[in-house]
């Protein structure tokens, strides 16, 4: 009994120990999953003078309208430096206006063609004559006269067909009378005791007249069928042309709507060809002795403005593997590599190079870096004590991630 009790106690102790172990493991994993840490990207840099010289370039080519700035002049932020006529936008504006005017003329001509062609399709040409809308024969109405000529030819053919039908009726009446006469003759031949040959010849003449009547009717039916086919082909061709002209008008009107919008945009751009100073400072240099009337190329350097600022920046480099964690505006801790400076400085990332570079291209194990400009120091008065050229260590802080994510990312990078 005592042994059984001891055995039971050992089992209970083992279960408690296992339960505590499981809780501990769950707690560790929960900590790894839910506890977050800041990703800090280390780098190194040099303190330099701030990029206080700003080069002003022309956005587009054109002629200078107003240029009253001189070297040494003080300028404020937003102050007008010069104005110019944008040749690209001016040319585009002129071109768009010409295209719109051309399209308007084309639309007017096509609408006139529609006005003339639709009565042809309806077979109501007299309506044009009554309204005095019949055009003169010139190049502007070539399409109309092309179809009008064909329409007149079909109308003439229809008139000829009607005359043929009248003559046909007369011919059929004449042949009917001849058949009646021959039938009377057949009766007389039988009563008069004529020979069989004479009777057969007379009957042959009767059948011949009947056959010719059938042939005449058949030929006229064929003529009528050919005419209807010709008339149908003309109407189909005319309908297709009217549909094509309607589509052209719609397309030209659509183009004009688009061009009107672009023209308004061009006029807005032409009217805002004003270059202002991005910062307050001093005109350090004016290139090429530019003045009113001077021609400037696109992206041509116009002048250099020295910004009114005594601040400093740090030109740093970060290993390329830290690039996903660095972004413009990210917080940076700056540590000076000198015992003379005990305090660290806080700053922010101002600019990141678009591409990485190799610090030592000849090294087979070359490492690539990104250039990063750091400014916006929180304590400007302290920064002024930093001499230019002094090396510093920089630590960029980016987003928070869980410890588990960091371990997985580190494991992947090691692989």
CB neighbour list of residue 216: distance below 8 Å, 6 or more residues apart: 168, 171, 172, 175
179 vs 3, which has greater pLDDT?
179
First to last CA, the chain: 59
Q: Per-residue pLDDT for 309 more than 70?
A: no
Provide the CB-side half-sphere exposure for 69 (13 A, CA): 31
Calculate the dihedral angle through the C-alpha atoms of 243, 246, 252, 256, rounding to the nearest 10 degrees: -150
Q: Per-residue pLDDT for 23 more than 80?
A: no
The region of weakest confidence among 112-126, 236-250, 398-412 is 398-412
Find the mean pLDDT for residues 102-114: 88
pLDDT at 214: 81
Q: Per-residue pLDDT for 293 more than 50?
A: yes
pLDDT band at 394 (very low <50, low <70, confident <90, very high): very high
CB-count exposure of residue 73 (10 Å: 0-12, 13-18, 19+): middle
pLDDT band at 351 (very low <50, low <70, confident <90, very high): confident
The region of weakest confidence among 285-289, 307-311, 324-328 is 307-311
pLDDT at 222: 82
| Span 129-180, pLDDT tens digits | 544 455 554 555 568 888 888 888 888 887 887 787 777 777 777 777 777 7
Q: Per-residue pLDDT for 355 more than 50?
A: yes
pLDDT at 277: 85
The region of weakest confidence among 29-33, 44-48, 152-156, 374-378 is 29-33
CATH number for domain 37-50+309-413, candidates 3.40.1050.10, 2.60.120.10, 2.40.30.170, 3.10.20.30? 2.40.30.170
Q: Per-residue pLDDT for 379 more than 70?
A: no
Q: Per-residue pLDDT for 105 more than 80?
A: yes
Q: Per-residue pLDDT for 410 more than 70?
A: no
User: How far lies 125's CA from each of 26, 234, 255, in Å?
Assistant: 95, 15, 33
pLDDT at 317: 92
The region of weakest confidence among 41-50, 139-148, 330-339 is 139-148
CB neighbour list of residue 49: distance below 8 Å, 6 or more residues apart: 312, 313, 388
Provide the CB-side half-sphere exposure for 402 (13 A, CA): 11
199 vs 108, which has greater pLDDT?
108
Fold classification of 53-83+273-306 (topology level): OB fold (Dihydrolipoamide Acetyltransferase, E2P) (2.40.50)
d(CA 327, CA 396): 9
pLDDT at 404: 64
pLDDT at 128: 53
pLDDT at 43: 92
pLDDT at 269: 63
pLDDT at 274: 82
Cross-strand partners of 312: 49
101 vs 49, which has greater pLDDT?
101
154 vs 32, which has greater pLDDT?
154
pLDDT at 347: 86
Domain boundaries, the chain: 1-34, 37-50+309-413, 53-83+273-306, 91-271
| Span 242-270, pLDDT tens digits | 888 889 989 988 988 888 887 777 776 66
The region of weakest confidence among 23-27, 114-118, 202-206 is 23-27
| Span 60-97, pLDDT tens digits | 777 888 888 888 888 888 888 888 877 777 777 788 88
Provide the CB-side half-sphere exposure for 200 (13 A, CA): 3
CB-count exposure of residue 306 (10 Å: 0-12, 13-18, 19+): middle
pLDDT at 132: 47
Of 38, 43, 40, 39, nearest to 320 (Cα)?
43
């Amino acid at each position: 009994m005592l042994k059984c009790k001891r055995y039971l106690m050992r089992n209970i102790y083992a279960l408690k120990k296992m339960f505590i172990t499981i809780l501990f493991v769950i707690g560790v994993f929960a900590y790894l999953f839910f506890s977050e840490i800041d990703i800090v990207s280390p780098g190194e840099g040099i303190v330099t003078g701030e990029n206080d010289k700003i080069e002003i370039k022309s956005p587009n080519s054109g002629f200078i309208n107003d240029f009253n700035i001189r070297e040494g002049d003080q300028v404020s932020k937003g102050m007008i430096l010069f104005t110019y006529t944008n040749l690209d936008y001016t040319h585009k504006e002129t071109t768009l206006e010409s295209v719109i005017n051309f399209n308007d003329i084309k639309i007017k001509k096509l609408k006139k063609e529609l006005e003339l062609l639709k009565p042809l399709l309806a077979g109501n040409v007299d309506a044009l004559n009554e309204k005095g809308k019949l055009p003169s024969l010139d190049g502007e109405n070539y399409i109309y006269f092309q179809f009008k000529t064909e329409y007149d030819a079909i109308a003439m053919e229809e008139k000829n067909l009607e005359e043929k039908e009248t003559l046909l009726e007369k011919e059929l009446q004449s042949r009917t009378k001849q058949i009646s006469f021959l039938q009377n003759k057949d009766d007389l031949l039988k009563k008069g005791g004529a020979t069989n040959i004479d009777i057969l010849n007379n009957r042959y003449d009767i059948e011949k007249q009947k056959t010719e009547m059938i042939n005449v009717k058949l030929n006229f039916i064929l003529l009528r069928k050919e005419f209807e086919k010709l008339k149908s082909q003309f109407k189909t061709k005319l309908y297709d042309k009217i549909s094509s002209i309607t589509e052209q008008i719609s397309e030209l009107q659509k183009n004009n709507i688009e061009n009107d919008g672009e023209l308004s945009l061009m006029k807005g751009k032409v009217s805002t060809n004003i270059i202002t100073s991005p910062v307050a400072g001093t005109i350090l240099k004016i290139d090429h002795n530019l003045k009113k009337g001077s021609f400037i190329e696109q992206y041509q350097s116009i002048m250099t403005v020295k910004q009114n600022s005594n601040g400093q920046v740090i030109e740093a480099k970060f290993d390329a593997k830290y690039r996903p964690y660095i972004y413009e505006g990210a917080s940076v801790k700056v540590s000076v590599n000198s015992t003379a400076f005990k305090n660290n400085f806080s700053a922010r990332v101002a600019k990141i190079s678009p591409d990485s570079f190799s610090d030592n291209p000849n090294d087979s194990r070359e490492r690539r870096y990104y250039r990063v400009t750091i400014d916006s120091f929180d304590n400007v008065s302290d920064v002024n004590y930093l001499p230019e050229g002094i090396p510093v260590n920089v630590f960029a802080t980016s987003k928070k991630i869980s410890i588990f994510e960091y371990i997985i990312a580190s494991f992947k990078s090691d692989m």
